[in-house]
Structure 1
Amino acid sequence: MRPTDGGGAGPRAANGRHESDEERADRKWGELIQEVRVAQTGVQILFGFLLTVAFTPAYEGLARTDKTIYVVTVLFGAAATGALIGPVSFHRMVVGRHIKPQAVRSASRLTFVGLLLLLATMTSALLLILRVATHDPYAPWIVAAVVAWYTYCWFVLPLWARHRHTTARRGSAP
């Protein structure tokens, strides 16, 4: 029997949960897969639409620069799709090998890379669309503003919250 702090099934971790390392890995794996499902769906839909562009009559009329942006966008989309599907394959290849904590860490890193590639895909897709649809010389600035917004929502705000609440918790510990 494992020692507890009096109320749970397992030892109490620093995060206040009563869970073993395996239980924590199972929980983190479940959370990661839920997160990946959201990003994966978005990138797959975007990637699917991107793949169809080259087969439309309008593609031939694109300027060389726009075709280059398109190819780069498709490559980013392919890489993002691979990275965001990777955790599922990773899990399938290592299931039953008793390395779930390590698998969760690796899959988490792969997911983070996938999010960065998704950001690159969306950035270049938005640039291409705004260049072709508006011919506006301010398109790159509009794209930069949207990228700043994505960066704030996806990275800055979560990192700020992590820092703020981790620091506050450490400061209030006995």
Structure 2
Amino acid sequence: MRDPEESEQRRLARNLNELLQELRVAQGGVQILFGFLLAIAFSDRYEHIDGHVRVLHLITVVLTAAAVALLTAPASWHRLLFRRGMRKEIIDIANTFAIAGLVCLALAMVGTVLLLGEAVVGGWIAIAIGVLALVGFGMLWFVLPLLRRR
């Protein structure tokens, strides 16, 4: 709820600070995931995996890289546009980047779960585990908050 005593500039500063704090939480995890996915390609077993698993791995790496780019972009925008009187614009674009970054991260997490499922059990069981991950992330990160927002 908005404080009637809070000025527009203070509200924008608070909103930007809250957004940057939220992004810090996501950034650490996505960067660790990115490192993990990169390391897989340099393991001894990688040369023996099937083509579809390699494609899934590449897609997951690209989604993770996109998540890193989108989740770190707001800090760059803030720094480059600092003291230009553009705080509202920075918050608006940073919010869009953050949501898109979380979508990419959720899909990358699903891809990672599917990769692990393929390595451990393979086949339809791996796909079922991937679908469960997709439903879980989709519900927790997007569907439930959007339903609550209404």
TM range (shorter): over 0.9
User: What is the TM-score with the length of structure 1 in the denominator?
Assistant: 0.82
**Residue 121 of structure 2 corresponds to residue 154 of structure 1:** no
Among 106, 110, 132, the residue aligned to 1:123: 110
**Residue 74 of structure 2 corresponds to residue 87 of structure 1:** yes
Among 18, 24, 35, the residue aligned to 2:11: 24
Among 46, 50, 60, the residue aligned to 1:59: 46
Higher Cα radius of gyration: 1
Aligned residue number for residue 6 of structure 1: none
Q: What is the CA–CA distance in structure 1 between the aligned matches of 2:5 and 2:137, rounded to whole Å? A: 35
Amino acid in the other structure paired with 1:40: Q
Deviation of the 1:41 alpha carbon: 0.8
Q: What is the CA–CA distance in structure 1 between the aligned matches of 2:65 and 2:112, rounded to whole Å? A: 13
**Residue 84 of structure 2 corresponds to residue 97 of structure 1:** yes
Aligned residue number for residue 59 of structure 2: 72
Aligned residue number for residue 144 of structure 1: 131
Deviation of the 1:132 alpha carbon: 1.5
Deviation of the 1:15 alpha carbon: 2.4
Q: What is the CA–CA distance in structure 2 between the aligned matches of 1:17 and 1:152, rounded to whole Å? A: 34
Tell whether the 8 Å contact from 2:60 to 2:111 is kept in structure 1 after alignment.
yes
Aligned structure 1 segments of 4 or more residues deviating by more than 6 angstroms: none
Q: Deviations over 1:21-50 (max 9, x none)?
A: 211110000110111011111100000111
The runs of 5 or more residues in structure 1 that have no matched partner are 1-13, 164-174
Q: Which has the higher helix share?
A: 2
Q: Kindly tell me the number of residue pairs found equivalent between the two proteins.
A: 150
The runs of 5 or more residues in structure 2 that have no matched partner are none
Amino acid in the other structure paired with 2:145: P
User: What is the TM-score with the length of structure 2 in the denominator?
Assistant: 0.95
Deviation of the 1:136 alpha carbon: 3.9
Q: What is the CA–CA distance in structure 1 between the aligned matches of 2:51 and 2:105, rounded to whole Å? A: 24
Instruction: Provide the aligned C-alpha RMSD in A.
Output: 1.2
